[in-house]
Structure 1
Amino acid sequence: MLGYTEDEVVSTDFNGEKLTSVFDAKAGIALSDTFVKLVSWYDNETGYSNKVLDLIAHISK
């Protein structure tokens, strides 16, 4: 699952985050008229572990 935030955040705000990734609306910047840098935060351990549990639940149905 993808989350969304407009809050002022830093990487430690996402420790323990269960979402796969959280899009940071305020962190993106336009590098040119045709190129934009987007930022999305995640907790690799918790986010991945949560997706494995989702997969196990899906397979067991």
Structure 2
Amino acid sequence: MTTKVGINGFGRIGRQVLKAIRDMYSQDLEVVAFNDIGDMKTMAHLLKYDSTYGRFNGTVEVADDSLVIDGKKVKV
């Protein structure tokens, strides 16, 4: 059984937390939501392309009120 979590803020740290959960803790934790004041296209772009950590190795798409990350909807 996974624990559902939300991330408060999707800046550099929030994006790295999402990546860490996805890469190392996906069997225990599931990100279901995050909040941020930015627009979703910008958030998707910043997740895909990071000047320090490199490109995100998954898929990121913008949906109505959420981002679809590796086929899973994450509400914004």
Q: TM-score over 0.5 for the alignment?
A: no
Kindly indicate whether structure 1 or structure 2 has the higher relative contact order, using CA contacts under 8 Å at least 6 residues apart.
1
**Structure that is richer in strand per residue:** 2
Larger Rg: 1
